[in-house]
Amino acid sequence: MSIQSGTHQLGPDNATLSVRTGRTGAAAKAGHDLVIHVTSWEAALEVGEDPVQTSIELTADATSLRVHEGTGGMQALSEEDLASIHQAIDDDVLKRQDVRFRSTRVQSEPDGSPIRVEGDLTLVGKTQPIAFNLEIGEDGTLSATSVVTQTVWGMKVYSALFGALKVQDDVEVVLDGHL
């Protein structure tokens, strides 16, 4: 599908932005793989008449990440566990600093899919390049997935039990929505 030119707004009302984490370490069985939703964010997809004029910008409130699902682990996540996870994300991982993405290059194939997006991602005040594919379906659905290696941005990878349980350094960021 080719995207109609103009500005397309995305946010929690028409799309889901999530972070998927895995676990590692000697005590990995005790932890949970998490799906965390970003509940306050906005993105603008500016599509020009000429595909090279296309750009994407996204801003997310770092304090709006909320655990949507936790799988694995020795027991279900309690309300106290969830509060602790949210506190760790705010204070130790993202340090209450908003997340920003700005494309530097958007390249589409002649058939319109996939669209290759390159840009700058800012996490905890550090900006690094990142690239991903954006898929647009015939019905206007869109999806993108990118792997973010936390330590590349100088982020502290969460660990517990004296380091025996850790969140994997690579987390998956997923966007699913509808134009």
> CB of 136 within 8 A of CB of 175?
no
What is residue 81's predicted lDDT score, i.e. its pLDDT?
92
- Would you list the DSSP string of 98-164? PEEEEEEEEEE-TT--SEEEEEEEEETTEEEEEEEEEEE-TTSEEEEEEEEEGGGGTPPPPEEGGGT
3-state secondary structure 32-68: CEEEEEECCEEEEEEECCCHHHCEEEEEECHHHEEEE
pLDDT of residue 51: 66
pLDDT for 111 equals: 64
Is the CB of residue 139 less than 8 Å from the CB of residue 179? no
Pairing of strands 115-123, 165-167: unpaired
pTM equals 0.91
CA distance 155 to 178: 31
For the chain, 179 residues long, give each residue's pLDDT as a single digit of tens: 467 788 999 999 999 999 999 998 888 888 899 999 999 999 999 988 776 788 999 999 999 999 999 999 889 999 999 999 999 999 999 999 999 999 999 987 666 568 899 999 999 999 999 999 999 888 889 999 999 999 999 998 888 888 788 899 999 999 999 98
Tell me, which fold does domain 6-178 have in CATH?
Lipocalin (2.40.128)
pLDDT at 1: 45
Distant-in-sequence, close-in-space partners of 141: CB < 8 Å, separation ≥ 6: 176, 177, 178, 179
| 80 burial via Cβ count (<10 Å: 0-12, 13-18, 19+) | exposed
